[in-house]
Structure 1
Amino acid sequence: MAMMTPQDIQIRVHSRRGSNMIHPVSLESPQAQPAATPNPNVVIFREVKHFKKWFPWLIPSFVIANTVMFVITMYVNNCPKNSISCAARFLGRFSFQPFSENPLLGPSSSALEKMGALDVGKVVHKHEVRIGLIYLISGVGGSLLSALFIQTNISVGASGALFGLLGGMLSELITNWSIYVNKVAAFLTLVLIIAINLAVGILPHVDNFAHIGGFLSGFLLGFVFLIRPQFGWVTQRYASPGYSSTPSSRKFKAYQCILWLVSLILLIFGITVGMVTLLRGVNLNDRCSWCHYLSCVPTSRWSCNTQPVSCQAEQTGSRYTLTCSNSSKSRTYSLLNPTATQIQGLCAQLCR
């Protein structure tokens, strides 16, 4: 039975900047190589997991924000003043509506509307459901483009759908250009906001493909769903009897109809081709060698490589030769009793 020497230990790592903690994992014995003499000076370093101590602030912030909004809503509700009966009346102004009106111990529907809740009738009759469709379809478009380019990691979030709303705002401004007053200022402001948000996507660990896919989907959907009739046509249609106005022959201008048709065709074609390509298992990075820069641009401060870092180290006295398993790059270092963390750091720099 073979014994495992300290030189045979394999260490797995997930490197995180600024950390100094190593969490050991199970040891793996190296595969036996027939007709080969093992070298006791060879050490294989795989990714060593580093975890930085941090304070969980995101979820507590959401909890605090929701609690504050609930207290404000109950203050606006003021059940003792606006209702005959209240639950937990000892809370005074913050008491709840009766169970028959709100069994979840909360405010009345009128108080929720004052705080910005949606009215179903207004949503349906004022066609605000179109915004919901843009949000949902943009989320699908963003996830589709992300899946076509990023196939080795998991990406989650609603940012693709939110970028779809930005794209819809931009196309709505373009297709209804004639009805805006400060159109140039609105256009430049919107383009600046979009550019800044897309620029953030070139940072590592940000799925900018979802942002781009959602933005393009929402941009096309805005031409389809957010087209508005011309002011002259609306005036003529809703004018009071006896009021004479210049007749308007068309509800929409020619360029609006062209943008509507072209956008609808491109949207259907793009989603269909994307779904077929995804189901066939095609990786678009193989078809576009530079497209990965749209999601992450490597610099001297960060790396865009999300693959596990693996190095092989060979010791000769105080000299260590590291060889990156991913790129086969090799470099020799003069080190005096280095720790595994120090060697792993050099390995991460070598494999960048």
Structure 2
Amino acid sequence: MLRKRHRILYLGPEGPRGHSLLVPVVAAINFFLFIVTMYVNDCPAHRRSSSGSCTLPSLGRLSFEPLFDNPLFGPSSSSLSKMGGISSETVAGKHQIWRPFSCIWLHAGVFHMIVDLISLLFVGIRLEQEFGCVRVGCIYFLSGIGGSLFSLLFIENRVSVGSSGALFGLMGAVVAEIVPNWSKHEGKCPTFATLGVIALLLFIIGLFPHIDNFSHIGGFLFGTMLGYVFFIRPHFDWSKYPMAPHNRITDFTIDSSRKMCKMFLWVVIVVLLAVLYLVFMVLAFRGVNGNDHCSWCRSFSCAPSSHWNCGGGSNSHSICKYMIRGTTMLLTCESNQRSQIYSGTFSLSSIKEFCDELCS
């Protein structure tokens, strides 16, 4: 059979086309850094009372923050920021240009990490077997950075982390490879169904604190363009075969013209990618706030709820640390580092009110 059929997420009867090393290594590093983040967080050290107790305190230093602060079973926002999470304060205010890269190695909690790593292994290993570690690695890291830069326009002073933007970049690359070569692929419907399920799960998780759906959008945008750049396949040239079904000269002409069109589009996309990276970088480091032009964008990144604290600007919840001893509470706002001592009995709603007042 002259025309070769391709599979990306679903292997053919011949099995894997190659080996995968990069994706498992990246997944292992992500898991290791989550353990390091929990160790650095050290929840019992800054929560001494039952009202502010850690989740699963039996884990000791690796125990999780209270579910109001982090419903995904993970560290505090200050620990995520210390490990390399992004926020407008650290990137635009302190010009820490390494954070859009460092944040893609971190995860907000156990649930976030499990979904991300399982999806990465499923999608990434298949892609690496098909296209190699160099091209897949370039798409993964470049789309992750692009997603981080895009999310900086909307997260304000809320800390955001995660490799989901890079994962969405890989999924965008799959779409960019399949659509132009539609007739050459088998298993297209199962592939798109799988990508849809993964995207839905990541979108739902993106509504929780410390994760940002705008990084998913940015990662998919960059990944789609990068996929066309790195996954481009030459058009099949029937003129090389004596059993070609059509006239050789005609097929050669069609093949050459298609190659020229693909090359022109490739150059346009490369230039567009460079422009988008530059624009998003300038906007992010200038601290431009996209929420000023979008009234619903804050809810798209972190859905407001009485069960968790979204943090952020004046129109969202504030993030505070509190320590209660008897009838005295020490409250510290994480965004401006202001502290104040309160006396009395405290409910969760009253702590939130004091926190909003202290951070305003």
Structure 2 length normalisation: TM-score? 0.49
Q: Please tell me whether Structure 1 or Structure 2 has the larger radius of gyration of its CA atoms.
A: 1
Identify, as 1 or 2, the structure richer in helix.
2
Higher relative contact order (CA 8 A, sep 6+): 2
Structure 1 length normalisation: TM-score? 0.50
